[in-house]
Amino acid sequence: GAIQNALDSSEVTINDSYNTGLRAASTDGPDRGFAFPEAEAGPAAYGIPGVVKQGDILTPLAPYLSARSDTFVIRAYGETLDESGKVIAQAWCEAEVIREARFVDPGNEPTADISALNPANRLFGRHYKITSFRWLNPSEV
């Protein structure tokens, strides 16, 4: 993945002690008779404890990550007027909304190309789910 490519880059030094010196694999060493010699290419110490890998970075973040979803907080205001135009009531609310990977119409897969979407999904797009709703006090706005 992209993070692993960055970690493997010569510009990132976090794994240098495992990529150089005695721990580094040599491509000009003796033939060890592997059926797929390219399998031994790269640092010999890759994967041992101490080498930082993409999974080491992403695993702690896993509970907070989701594929193709976004969260929005939406606030709204409404008021009621009497016959003379005077405000007689006000209300504020807040909703948390998540845009999910799936489309409104399940007729298309989330990975479908935009040009292949059916008319409903072209018009309405991704599915939204309200995860919380609450009325606000005037002091909260």
Q: How confident is the model at residue 38 (pLDDT cuts 50, 70, 90)?
A: confident
In this structure, the answer to whether residues 80 and 136 fall within a common structural domain is yes
In this structure, the answer to whether residues 112 and 126 fall within a common structural domain is yes
In this structure, the answer to whether residues 76 and 60 fall within a common structural domain is no
Cβ(108)–Cβ(137) under 8 Å? no
pLDDT digits 0-9 by tens, 123-134 = 999 999 999 999
pLDDT value at 98 more than 90: yes
Q: Which domain holds residue 57?
A: 2-64
Q: How far apart are the C-alpha atoms of 56 and 84, rounded to whole Å?
A: 65
Listed residues 64, 86, 115: the one ending a domain: 64
